[in-house]
Amino acid sequence: MAQLPWHKSLQQALVQRQTDGLYRYPRLRQGPQGVNVKVDGQAFISFCSNDYLGLANHPEVVKAFQKAADQEGVGSGAAHLLTGHSQYHHELEMALAAFTGQQKVMTFATGYMANLAVIDGLMNRGDVVIQDKLNHASLLDGSRLSQATLYRYAHNDMASLHQRLHQTANIERKLIVSDGVFSMDGDMVALPELMALAKQHHAGVVIDDAHGLGVVGDAGKGTLQYFADQIAEKPILVGTFGKAFGTAGAFIAADELIIETLTQHARSYIYTTAPPPAIAAATLAALQINQHDDAYRQRLQARIEQFRQGASQLGLKIMASQTAIQPILIGDDKQALKLGQQLEEHGILTGVIRPPTVPKNTARLRITLSAAHTEVQVNQLLSALEQCHVH
């Protein structure tokens, strides 16, 4: 049995984490992802998946995966730069370039790896990365890996960002990094103002639009398209497939020079096995559904509006989000955990989010809505919230 010499201190830290109401447990799902799930042997209506368009178990997406697996097998067997890059990867990257309006795309096995790559592959010691306070952990880890100096600015506060840019005015290479849709609050980046400041201070920009693609903008083209009329130039875009597209993996889209630079320098691209070709094929099928059938987004938007109206009538502390992410602010960690457990007794599964994922005293129920949810199911959620006295 493997142990560490400091076994006792690890045990004490875990006990303290349980005492503080911050302990996390894996859950076992039996059967496909969807709004009706069986977790730990119990049936739930799920409001904690990122499958925003309900494509994770879509017949056309599953069929594309199976067909490619029959042709190519399961594993890619090598890194992209060796023999792991299949025709399916190539076709997906070409389709994504057209979809995003960027020159070139490179794909990754996970969004975490893409965010490590985009910062570590472009920035070095002595450079500066300026990040929103509520950015995803993987973006912060990208800065740490690059050894660039990291500055944070207050969430979506352009005056705070402007101050950071003045503070680093003598640094030649500056990169502003922000989520497009913030994963825990559900609000959107103030992109037009951010891009204007970047231009004024000669800074690059990266937008991680994991939670915006497929959900906002015409044809689900995300945050960049949502603000297209207000921005003259496109930032570097990171997108993921494990949310609205219902599969797995991620991509970076930018001009050819940036993508070629990342191909040469991004360690989380070079030194890892490429994702399975069948995943690329399934993602391409999901992308085509997303582009050609707006009914999914219309249904999702209807459920968002229904939930927000109902939550407002109940006096719930919802946040200023118009996206599929609808957090209910609770505050106390143990109270949030208790409410989550009570909702499960009503057959409702939600995300209970506590520090360090969110700031101290901002524990919340993270409700995520899907195009696959019905009006009846959202009413069941609202009824359960009322019965559990969530306020």
State whether 253 and 185 are in the same domain.
yes
State whether 144 and 72 are in the same domain.
yes
Domain boundary among 292, 313, 331: 292
Q: What pLDDT sits at residue 1?
A: 85
State whether 40 and 148 are in the same domain.
no
195-253 pLDDT, tens digit per residue, is 999 999 999 999 999 999 999 999 999 999 999 999 989 999 999 999 999 999 999 99
Q: What pLDDT sits at residue 379?
A: 97
Q: What pLDDT sits at residue 22?
A: 85
| CATH code (residue 38) | 3.90.1150.10
State whether 229 and 369 are in the same domain.
no
Which segments in the chain show pLDDT lower than 50?
A: none
Q: What pLDDT sits at residue 20?
A: 86
State whether 178 and 73 are in the same domain.
yes
User: Is 8 inside a domain boundary?
Assistant: no
pLDDT averaged over every residue in the chain = 96
Q: What pLDDT sits at residue 262?
A: 98
Where in the sequence numbering do the catalytic residues fall?
A: 183, 211, 243
Place of tokens 């057209």: 98
State whether 303 and 370 are in the same domain.
yes
Report the number of distinct structural domains present in the chain: 2
118-135 pLDDT, tens digit per residue, is 999 999 999 999 999 999
Q: What pLDDT sits at residue 149?
A: 97
State whether 64 and 36 are in the same domain.
no
| CATH code (residue 121) | 3.40.640.10
State whether 230 and 373 are in the same domain.
no
Domain boundary among 292, 319, 341: 292
User: Is 13 inside a domain boundary?
Assistant: no
State whether 287 and 369 are in the same domain.
no
User: Is 133 inside a domain boundary?
Assistant: yes
User: Is 1 inside a domain boundary?
Assistant: no
Binding region for substrate: 24, 136, 357
Binding region: 24, 111-112, 136, 183, 211, 240, 357
Q: How far is CA 45 from CA 9, 83, 178, 263, 372, in A?
A: 39, 42, 32, 42, 11
State whether 174 and 124 are in the same domain.
yes
State whether 186 and 230 are in the same domain.
yes
Domain boundary among 240, 274, 292: 292
Structural domain of 104: 60-292
State whether 207 and 303 are in the same domain.
no
Binding region for pyridoxal 5'-phosphate: 111-112, 183, 211, 240
Record the pTM: 0.95
User: Is 12 inside a domain boundary?
Assistant: no
Q: Say if CB 368 and CB 324 are below 8 A apart.
A: yes
Q: What pLDDT sits at residue 21?
A: 82
User: Is 18 inside a domain boundary?
Assistant: no
